[in-house]
Chains A and B, each alone.
Chain A
């Protein structure tokens, strides 16, 4: 770095990540790397059945095994701790929140539910003991089909409720039933009079974004200090409060720490899960450190399952392609619904809210029902609830266009929101942006016109090339206004910035990175604001003992909320430094009269008046003599950034595929995105979020699926069966930019990353549909498997004959 590069100009820079040295040399510090003296290992015994009464659990043989310290089952545990739900992790949304404990009580409700647990000195011995636990089950009917589950006479998953409807509501028409009905009538009328109505059933399968590192907990108990727990988590502060409540430990005696490094999360580490409760409880009960490291099998059986939705979606359109109204009846399979914060239904709920995507459709009638079933609860996955919604919406837009003989992007473009701020019919806010610019950029860069010529040529040769577009207006962090209701927690971003006597800056916040590179982007923001080098910034996070409350690393908040709080805190400190500098130099200057550049603080009106950042820091922190009147000692500030309104980021994706009509197999020849992430802090990091999210989206769309058989046995609990895309299965993803700075954040940045997979299923399935248009094939179901595509080709050929 040359001298002139320092100072301003740290934003938008491709700064190499600070995290990489330790991670490329094997010096990362993940949950599995934490060792405490005398640490015990906990292993779960999990249910072999989807729905069965527990008649008896015999743990005697397990208890007798040498090296086993404790064995516990659900009934006993229920006498020792409180049960869920606890208010701190229950949304302020009317829904059924089932009662449950970390270990099943009375009956099991999905294949893989924890039934008992072993604590042993050695992890191998713990597994030996787990094999010795004998559980007698009495089978109950398996509730596996979400539509059948909703029938009034269906077997109930939870006896405490009258039926299997966990959540039911209208997302449109207002709060009052009468208003909703009036809205429905109005929308129905538009449908009756429309030039074109497209109605389809779109089905998105169960899949998620399982990270490479499964979950884990290390808990330690000290009679004087209480509980210390390291948890793989996206929200240590919420975990702390929830653990305090459910284990009845005063909050000041609960310390939760996110390990410095976490091997990805993408939403899966955001809920308050049942397992950490037990690990922490056992550490307290035994007075010894206890560790649980989730196996991949446990992970695939119990978490990271999402996206399981059916949309009966209708669009009313004018003959020129203008969308007049949208109606959707959504049902989601929420599984057993037992999961703190999200409860299985929150993903489909948000997905329904986000359904209109970036389109201006004031007339909507959208209703959602979420069913309890004997499957693992839905848990968050990047593109939270919206992946299936985007699939349905973008497929429908393509179909409307083709029924009218129009180019799909023309119809998409014509219907995009152009005036901001905008509120969707579902009440979601679009703060700002330029959607058309984003789409136009993509259409141009992928050369749609050129492609259509190529496609025509190819069709003459009997080759099936196709292009598809998928769009998405994704939440870029959520404000308190939304989160207080939705997740019962604030939405502000918080950061503590401290300048030390040597002029180095320390930043602490209560969130935690799982690969997003916060240490680097935080350092860039501080460097930008303070005019120092990012090397002089140290960032730490995730320890509830010494960070301000943070609602977590969720929903692409870092770019929008956290970094804004960092910038605000820096500005606050700069003002103080400027005031003291003015005082020391005896100039009557306003704070903005000082420039912070290249490690110096320079009086703009007379640049001979200057001092170094480090000197002034030392002067203020270490020699607090002769301060201006009323000025406190110290250089430290905690800032809270609350957005004026919820913010979004908009993206458009395009895929070009070639389908082999003989086998239904297809190749993604090109995949390109166009992004508006506002002002970019670090382009490399942002582009990395996008390529990663796109490949997750592709992998979800084609390869991944959680499969339950007719009796509820989960058949995909290994990476051999739950297939993730390898490097050889995916294209080189091209990322392009069409930014519009966000006027509502101090840096103009938008948070990005969470919603990236959303537009993928639309782009891919539209591309396959486009390729096979001459054969009349239309994709309405995921996953997009060759077998299914081939069958559709066969059916259409037969129908044609």
Chain B
């Protein structure tokens, strides 16, 4: 019923004794207390608000058990800014008003961060495709697309 795990989140190691059934998203939010990662689904895993990275790949943390992340590196939105300096994506989201309520934002940032590594110079259509796993109800996506494009240019 319980397992010992070692999960590194944003470079910090968490050694915990946890129920096998504990969802990774609850480990992140409730055990590590990193509440930037959000939940928007019951079980379907469609909204993407819980998107984090495992070993630098974007995944939905509501569709994983914490035990599956044992021994892996997790990155969440809290780790995106480095040494107090915002990531270009964070800056461009602010610059272009790519968020309103901000509930979807952490998941989008974590997905986009990996996406831009894979495709540093994406077209608008490619960005829109890359966002399929992240629903946003406030913005109509227009400014999110602009912000990601602009971050790509800044990072080039």
Binding site for B on A (CB under 8 A): 16-17, 19-21, 23-28, 30, 32-33, 124, 209-214, 261-264, 266, 295-298, 514-517, 684-685, 687-696, 717-720, 724, 726-728, 730, 732-733
Count B-side interface residues using an 8 Å CB cutoff: 58
- With A263-B101, A719-B47 already in contact, 7 other A-B pairs whose C-beta atoms are closer than 8 Å: A23-B101, A24-B86, A25-B90, A212-B137, A297-B42, A685-B97, A688-B139
With A30-B103, A212-B101, A213-B40 already in contact, the answer to whether A692 and B138 are too (CB < 8 A) is: yes
Q: Which residues of B lie under 8 Å from residue A720 when comparing CB positions? A: 44, 46
Contact A24 B127 (CB under 8 A): no
Contact B140 A264 (CB under 8 A): no
Indicate which residue in A25, A264, A728 contacts B131 across the interface (CB closer than 8 Å): A728
CB distance from A305 to the nearest CB of B (A): 15
Contact A727 B127 (CB under 8 A): yes
Indicate which residue in B34, B42, B97, B102 contacts A684 across the interface (CB closer than 8 Å): B97
CB distance from A96 to the nearest CB of B (A): 33
**Nearest opposing residue in chain A for B146, CB measure:** A732
B49 at the interface (CB under 8 A from A): yes
Contact A24 B102 (CB under 8 A): yes
Contact A732 B137 (CB under 8 A): no
B93 at the interface (CB under 8 A from A): yes
**Nearest opposing residue in chain B for A698, CB measure:** B140
Indicate which residue in B44, B99, B100 contacts A24 across the interface (CB closer than 8 Å): B99
Q: Which residues of B lie under 8 Å from residue A19 when comparing CB positions? A: 102
Contact B80 A25 (CB under 8 A): yes
CB distance from B86 to the nearest CB of A (A): 7
B19 at the interface (CB under 8 A from A): yes
Q: Which 9 A-B pairs have the closest CB atoms?
A: A26-B36, A263-B103, A515-B101, A23-B102, A695-B140, A515-B100, A691-B140, A727-B131, A719-B46
In the complex the two chains form, what is the Cα distance from A682 to B39 in whole Å?
Answer: 30
Contact B141 A730 (CB under 8 A): yes
In the complex the two chains form, what is the Cα distance from A20 to B81 in whole Å?
Answer: 13
Please name 23 pairs of A and B residues whose Cβ atoms are closer than 8 Å in the assembled complex, sorted by A.
Answer: A17-B94, A24-B80, A24-B86, A25-B81, A26-B35, A26-B36, A26-B37, A28-B36, A33-B29, A124-B21, A124-B22, A210-B137, A213-B38, A263-B104, A266-B137, A297-B43, A688-B100, A688-B139, A691-B143, A693-B140, A694-B140, A695-B139, A727-B141
Contact B78 A32 (CB under 8 A): no
- Interface of A: prevailing SS: loop
Contact B141 A695 (CB under 8 A): yes
Contact B131 A30 (CB under 8 A): no
**Chain B positions 83-112 with a Cβ under 8 Å from a chain A Cβ:** 86, 90, 93-97, 99-106, 109
In the complex the two chains form, what is the Cα distance from A695 to B102 in whole Å?
Answer: 17
Contact B132 A28 (CB under 8 A): no
For B96, B103, B125, which residue has the most chain A Cβ atoms within 10 angstroms?
A: B103
B5 at the interface (CB under 8 A from A): no
Contact A728 B128 (CB under 8 A): yes
**Nearest opposing residue in chain B for A732, CB measure:** B142
**Nearest opposing residue in chain B for A210, CB measure:** B137
Contact A728 B80 (CB under 8 A): no
Q: Which residues of B lie under 8 Å from residue A25 when comparing CB positions? A: 36, 77-78, 80-81, 86, 90
Q: Which residues of B lie under 8 Å from residue A210 when comparing CB positions? A: 137
Indicate which residue in B38, B41, B44, B96 contacts A32 across the interface (CB closer than 8 Å): B38
B7 at the interface (CB under 8 A from A): no
Q: Which residues of A lie under 8 Å from residue B34 when comparing CB positions? A: 26
**Nearest opposing residue in chain A for B89, CB measure:** A24
Binding site for A on B (CB under 8 A): 19, 21-22, 29, 34-44, 46-47, 49, 76-78, 80-81, 86, 90, 93-97, 99-106, 109, 124-125, 127-129, 131-132, 134-145
Contact A718 B43 (CB under 8 A): yes
CB distance from B56 to the nearest CB of A (A): 18
**Nearest opposing residue in chain B for A213, CB measure:** B103
In the complex the two chains form, what is the Cα distance from A153 to B4 in whole Å?
Answer: 64
Indicate which residue in B22, B40, B96, B99 contacts A296 across the interface (CB closer than 8 Å): B40
In the complex the two chains form, what is the Cα distance from A19 to B77 in whole Å?
Answer: 16
In the complex the two chains form, what is the Cα distance from A516 to B19 in whole Å?
Answer: 39
Q: Which residues of A lie under 8 Å from residue B131 when comparing CB positions? A: 726-728
Contact B104 A212 (CB under 8 A): yes
CB distance from A291 to the nearest CB of B (A): 12
Q: Which residues of A lie under 8 Å from residue B129 when comparing CB positions? A: 727-728
For B19, B101, B124, which residue has the most chain A Cβ atoms within 10 angstroms?
A: B101
Indicate which residue in A514, A688, A696, A718 contacts B46 across the interface (CB closer than 8 Å): A718
In the complex the two chains form, what is the Cα distance from A439 to B142 in whole Å?
Answer: 23
CB distance from B4 to the nearest CB of A (A): 19
Contact B41 A718 (CB under 8 A): yes
With A26-B76, A211-B137, A212-B101 already in contact, the answer to whether A32 and B35 are too (CB < 8 A) is: yes
In the complex the two chains form, what is the Cα distance from A625 to B16 in whole Å?
Answer: 62
Contact B35 A214 (CB under 8 A): no
In the complex the two chains form, what is the Cα distance from A296 to B137 in whole Å?
Answer: 14
Contact A212 B97 (CB under 8 A): no
Indicate which residue in A17, A26, A298, A690 contacts B77 across the interface (CB closer than 8 Å): A26
